[in-house]
Copies of this chain bind each other. A is one copy, B any other.
Amino acid sequence: MHATLRDAPTPLTRSVEDYLKVIYHLSSQGGFASTSDIAAMLEVAPPSVSGMVKRLSETGLIEHVPYRGVQLTNQGRRAALRMIRRHRILEVYLTQQLGYDWDNVHEEAERLEHAVSDELIERMAGALGDPHYDPHGAPIPTPGGEIEEAELITLADAPVDGVLELRQVNDDDPARLRYLADQGLTPGTRLTVLERQPFNGPTTVRIGAATRVVGRELALALWCRGVQA
C-alpha cells in the first residue's frame, strides 16, 4: 500500500498558521524570511521565532538556514496559500454580505481564518460567485493553491506621465484605508502621474477630473499596473 495514501493531516495551530502566512509574505519575492522580520510582523520576540522555526522545520513546513532565514517547503506553501484563500474569501464575504467596510474586515478575518472549515469557505466563495480579488485588490488563491502573480509597482515608483491602474492597496492600516476610500483611491481606479517632487517628495496624480497629491508613505502602499494610454 502507499506509505501515504492520505496521511493524517495533523491540524495546524493558529500560531503555526499565522507564522506560515507571514513567512509566505516575507519570502514571496524569492528570498529568505529573517527571524527579526518574522518577529516584527507577528509582534513576538525573536527568540519565540527561533523556537517556532525549529518546530516548523522539524515538521517539514519550512527550510531553515541558520543565521540566514527560512523559506517555505512545498507543503508549507500549500498551507500558507490555503490560509490566504480563507482570509481573502472571508474579507470579501464580510464586505459583500454583511455590510462591513473595507477598513475593518482584516482583523475579523485574521481570527476567523483559523476557525472556518474548508466547506464553509467554499460555500462563501460560491455565494459570492467565486471572486478573484479581495476588497483591497489582493488576488485570491484557488482551492488548489494557484495564485495570480501580477507585476505591480508602487505609486512612489511609477514614472511621471505614466497612466496607471490602481490594482491593490495595503490593508494593514484601517485609518489609511478610510482615507484612501475618501480620496477615491480604490482598486480599479485610473491614474495619471502628473509630477513628483524630489527628495522623496509627494506624487501628484490626476483621477478623472480631480488632482490629488499623494505623500510618499501613502504612495508606497498603492500598487499599480501600467496601462496603454
List A residues at the B interface (Cβ < 8 Å).
94, 97-100, 108, 111-112, 114-117, 119-120, 123-124, 127
- What distance in Å separates the Cβ of A124 from its nearest Cβ neighbour in chain B? 7
CB pair A115 B111 closer than 8 Å = yes
For A94, what are the chain B residues with a Cβ–Cβ distance below 8 Å? 120
Question: Do B117 and A115 touch (CB < 8 A)?
Answer: no
Copies in the complex: 2
Given contacts A98-B127, A124-B98, A127-B98, contact A112 B116 (CB under 8 A): yes
Residues of B within 8 A of A124 (CB): 98
A contacts with B: majority SS: helix
B99 touches A120 (CB 8 A): no
Min Cβ gap A17→B in Å is 12
Which residues of B sit under 8 angstroms from A120, Cβ to Cβ?
94, 98, 108
Chain B nearest CB, measured from A89 CB (Å): 12
CA separation between A111 and B97, bound complex, in Å?
A: 21
- Find chain B residues with CB under 8 A from A116 CB: 108, 111-112
A98 and B115 contacting across the interface, CB-CB below 8 Å: no
Instruction: List, sorted by A's number, 17 A–B pairs whose CB atoms are closer than 8 Å.
Output: A94-B120, A97-B97, A97-B127, A98-B120, A98-B124, A98-B127, A99-B123, A108-B117, A108-B119, A108-B120, A111-B115, A111-B116, A111-B117, A112-B115, A112-B116, A114-B115, A115-B115
A183 to B191, CA, bound (A): 62
